[in-house]
Amino acid sequence: MGKPFAVSGKRSPRSPTAGGAGSSWKTTGRCLTFLLLLAAVAFPTVVLYRAVDHRHYSYRSLRSDLNASALLSDSDWLSEAAAQDTVELRLDKILQEASMEDKTVILTTLNSAWARSEGIDFSGEEYFMSNGYLEMMWRRIDFLRTILEMGYSFIFTDVDIMWFRNPLPNFYSDVDFQTACDHFFGNSTDLGNRANGGFNYVKSNNRSIEFYKYWYSSRERFPGHHDQDVFNTIKYDPFVTEIGLTMRFLSTTFFGGLCEPSRDLNKVCTMHANCCIGLESKLHDLRIMLDNWREFMSLPHNMKNSGIVSWRVPQNCSIAALFRTPSF
């Protein structure tokens, strides 16, 4: 995969592309909204990315569709339960079309702050640790549990992660839950690795479903905490061993970030703009990252191992930020 693509909010094309998918998308869009509402998930955009042929699906006008009156007038003849069933069926259809042969989907979510260019001040830590933000992150965990319950495995990627290579060859096989790290200490089974919730590969089975339920319910034990902080606490809980969940931490060699960049551009799959406060700084460093990658890709083949191109990030993103805000 030579061409990098940023999985990012407004700039990547989002309309359904060639194939029969477009029309089915139109009919399913509204129902996806239902599900998101019923599941109390308020993401204005859900993107399912199909790696195989680069078709992707998105739903991005959720804001107007979140208009409750419009929704009610469409659905008032349905009982709530029936509506839920219909929604699940339609979502299942979307997932079917977006998934790979083994029922794996690539999934990302955008919150309204990312999708909108003005109106919200997301320059400070306040936004990221606000109640609204925390609530949204927790709803994401609950939504991902729904996906697992529907029998789909997923690769979840935050929108501020650049994908440079296909990650699939670098995943562990037969592992229920594998996650990228802010800091990786060299041993993939060591629970002391600092997980980052922005990139993970989760197989759908009873263990992963139980784990997501446990994770979500743990928010009540840690009020005011981010899903990722809670993960880094509950990963030690005996419950995880009891349900038999297998867990691995992915090396930053392949799945790096600004907290701990992947050192080898010959190996890197993804780079996350983590350890970064403020959208401007984040975009600044993401652009540098992309420039670095272009430089690397333009090297003649025999120069790619020379190490003459390395990351010039983080620049505006601050490593010190990590010690104030552990994630995002």
Ligand X SMILES: *[C@@H]1O[C@H](CO)[C@@H](O)[C@H](O)[C@H]1NC(C)=O
**What is the contact surface with ligand X in residues (CB under 6 A)?**
64, 67, 69-70, 187, 189-190, 204-206, 280-281, 284, 316
For the CB of residue 63, give the shortest distance to ligand X in the complex, in Å: 7
Residue 23 or 123: which CB sits closer to ligand X? Answer: 123
Residue 237 or 280: which CB sits closer to ligand X? Answer: 280
Pick from 311, 238, 307, 316: which is nearest to 282 by CA?
316
For the CB of residue 130, give the shortest distance to ligand X in the complex, in Å: 22
The C-alpha angle 65, 110, 20, rounded to 5 degrees, equals 65
Please state whether the peptide bond connecting residue 314 to the residue before it is cis, i.e. omega within 30 degrees of 0.
yes
- In this structure, what token pair is assigned to residue 30? 């509204």
For the CB of residue 283, give the shortest distance to ligand X in the complex, in Å: 7
CA-to-CA dists, residue 189 to 90, 166, 180, 200, 202, angstroms: 38, 23, 12, 15, 16
Residue 120 or 297: which CB sits closer to ligand X? Answer: 120
Grouping H, G, I as helix, E, B as strand and the rest as coil, residue 116 is coil
For the CB of residue 209, give the shortest distance to ligand X in the complex, in Å: 6
For the CB of residue 129, give the shortest distance to ligand X in the complex, in Å: 20
Residue 268 or 317: which CB sits closer to ligand X? Answer: 317
For the CB of residue 100, give the shortest distance to ligand X in the complex, in Å: 17
Long-range contacts of 69-74 (CB under 8 A, 24+ apart): 71/30, 71/33, 71/34, 71/37, 74/30
Residue 64 or 306: which CB sits closer to ligand X? Answer: 64
CA distance 140 to 42: 9
For the CB of residue 187, give the shortest distance to ligand X in the complex, in Å: 4
Residue 182 or 210: which CB sits closer to ligand X? Answer: 210
Residue 67 or 166: which CB sits closer to ligand X? Answer: 67
Helix 131-149 × helix 227-234 angle, to 10°: 60
CA distance 305 to 309: 9
